Amino acid sequence: MAARLVTIAIPAYKARFLAEAIRSALDQTYSDIELVIVNDCSPEPVEEVVSQFHDPRIRYYVNEKNLGSESVVLNWNKCLSHARGEFFVLLCDDDLLRPAFLEKMLALADKYPECKVFRSPTECSDRSGKIIYATEPWPEHEDGIAFVNAALGWKRKHTITEFMYRTSHIREEGGYISFPVAYYSDDASIMKLSLDNGIASLSSCQVTFRNSGENITGSEKYNEGKALAAIRYYQWLESFLQDNRISNPLDIGNEIEYAIFNYLRPCSLCQKLHVLAMLPAKYFSPGRRLKLAYSVIHSKGRAGDDHHTFSA
């Protein structure tokens, strides 16, 4: 295997598990890497953690302002802007790569030279590191339209960490798609990036996603943003399917309504009213809007586990 520089990038904000994420990147069996770490103006001791590592492959940056206040995807794309490698991997600051992740991914890239997106199945652990479950393997190679239809059928659970891309491809496609609090951003980005020659996938887990309770998926404090992201995502999705002539019987209005109800249940009345005011008239007549508002405002309790990814 010819040596090719691979960029592993960590958009850093949380410090608690950052050292483990860094170590998992530096301990790859494939060593021709650069590790780009971009501190998103974190109030946590991110720089203190990074300073513990004395490895010339690390390139450390600090953003002038916190991009995550708008969307953490902006820091994902900031990481991408610093990449010099032929391939690009985004490693979240509490996730882990197994030592052979890059070695296996590059072998997959050699096997499918026309492919531009590569993926590993993923284990999900709790904050202690105990494995809760693992995602199912995907087909070794799947074309883009087949992947999109499978994803919309809830058959392609994934995280943002488990992918490797040809850097030129993700740049040409404009980087990651940004929605509020980065929710649905991985879904939309992978769908868009997969259309050009599909996705090649490993059969064994080489990534660990840590459901630490500190990430966006595990925290209800982001639920208003998740609801707003759902509205924007499904509007984007309708245009994406039409533009690419992908036939899918998805009912956009129903998908938005289901997501809004689930995410808004634990929110305050003010948050509920804010999101309900953003409902697109195309899908919500005054009567339908009023009916949903009544259901949401009078609902209480925790949101259901309705979102099929567990990223960010």
pLDDT in tens, 65-87: 999 988 899 999 999 999 999 99
148 pLDDT exceeds 70?
yes
Model confidence at 303: pLDDT above 80 = no
Indicate if the pLDDT at residue 294 is higher than 70: yes
Residues paired with 171 in a beta bridge = none
Confidence check: pLDDT of 15 > 60: yes
Given this model, what pLDDT does residue 183 score?
Answer: 92
Copy the structure tokens of residue 261: 């109800």
Separation of alpha carbons 22 and 59, rounded Å = 12
301 pLDDT band (50/70/90 cuts)?
low
- Round to whole Å and give the CA distance between 147 and 240: 14
Percent of the chain scoring above 70 in pLDDT: 92
- 3-state DSSP assignment of residue 294: helix
- Assigned CATH for 6-211: 3.90.550.10
pLDDT for the residue numbered 304:
44
Q: Which residues have a Cβ under 8 Å from the Cβ of 290 and sit 6 or more positions away?
A: none
Looking at residue 134, what is its pLDDT?
Answer: 85
Indicate the pLDDT class of residue 219, thresholds 50, 70 and 90.
Answer: low
Predicted TM-score of the model (pTM)? 0.90
Arithmetic mean of pLDDT over the chain: 91
**Cβ atoms < 10 Å from Cβ of 185:** 25
pLDDT at 217: 57
Angle formed at CA 184 by CA 95 and CA 68, multiple of 5 degrees? 65
